Structure 1
């Protein structure tokens, strides 16, 4: 019986992050262009973290696709993200910065949160702990591994519908 509890715990941990992948140490990102993620272009809305989420993605231009994210809880902006996916050395890199509702940055001035490309599938793009999934022309999922101040991590799903 003592073995069953740790085994169950390990199985539950492996189940919690089934939609994201991590880039192995020393691995290189596969070749890719913005054409591989162009389907993200548009205005998307969903629900997460107890509120309304919104993402707006621009079409490819100048070697990048820009995006903005907003979380509104109880009628107030909780936080924003601004970022882009850009072509770098024949592959893709997703970078973002967080801001509170008053546009005060969370990261240091010159720091970004970076997600290297791990794998491409026809309707899924796996960045390091961040996955974009095309369900249809009108629906997408984003999966991201988030952590808390205690070092705990979990995979969160965002489901969006095109606006």
Structure 2
């Protein structure tokens, strides 16, 4: 299935990445706060994987920004993601879980996909394998490394417009 976004087959492949990166071996994440990514707040929509995507980000509160993601293809929900970016130890961490359209989880009950902050650079915030980019107040890009079952990876761009 092509929709294994960072689930069990997450691969960071610098050779294929143009907009994503990884934290160097042994390096610590830089200091950051939710203020650095608060521009993500809002209701966003776009197209990917042959369907319509929707991503909703709440405002920073309680030390996190919560989000939900949905892909609809051929009139059916392909999958959901639920997660957050949270402040932890004076930096940020991006964490998520995947669900099939019937809300059965992809990950084990207590398993969470977790991505360390690599850097904050102007209108871009880099996590391992993901980059969030503010194009304008009404447009964002999310770049994600997507791994397939065969171990290959490609960078996918999600372009979202504000609802």
Same-fold call, TM cutoff 0.5: yes
Shift of 1:38: 0.2
Distance in 2, Cα, partners of 1:145 & 1:64: 23
Report the TM-score when normalising by structure 1: 0.91
RMSD over aligned CA atoms reads 1.1
The 8 Å contact of residues 14 and 21 in structure 2, kept in 1 or not, is answered as: no
Deviation by residue 1:73-112 (Cα, 9 ceiling, x = unmatched): 0110000000000000000000000000000000010111
Change (3 A) 1:139 1:15: farther
Shift of 1:15: 6.6
Deviation by residue 1:110-131 (Cα, 9 ceiling, x = unmatched): 1111110001011000000100
Structure 1 residues without counterparts, runs of 5 or longer: 1-12
User: Which residue pairs with 1:144 in the alignment?
Assistant: 144
Q: Which has the higher contact order (CA 8 A, sep 6+)?
A: 2
Structure 2 residues without counterparts, runs of 5 or longer: 1-12
The 8 Å contact of residues 47 and 159 in structure 2, kept in 1 or not, is answered as: yes
Report the TM-score when normalising by structure 2: 0.91
Shift of 1:16: 3.3
User: Which residue pairs with 1:116 in the alignment?
Assistant: 116
Q: Residues 119-138 of structure 1 correspond to what in structure 2 (within 5 A)? A: 119-138=119-138
User: Which residue pairs with 2:92 in the alignment?
Assistant: 92
Q: Residues 31-46 of structure 1 correspond to what in structure 2 (within 5 A)? A: 31-46=31-46
Q: Which structure: larger Rg?
A: 1
User: Which residue pairs with 1:49 in the alignment?
Assistant: 49
Length, aligned pairs only? 151
Distance in 2, Cα, partners of 1:101 & 1:130: 23
User: Which residue pairs with 1:8 in the alignment?
Assistant: none
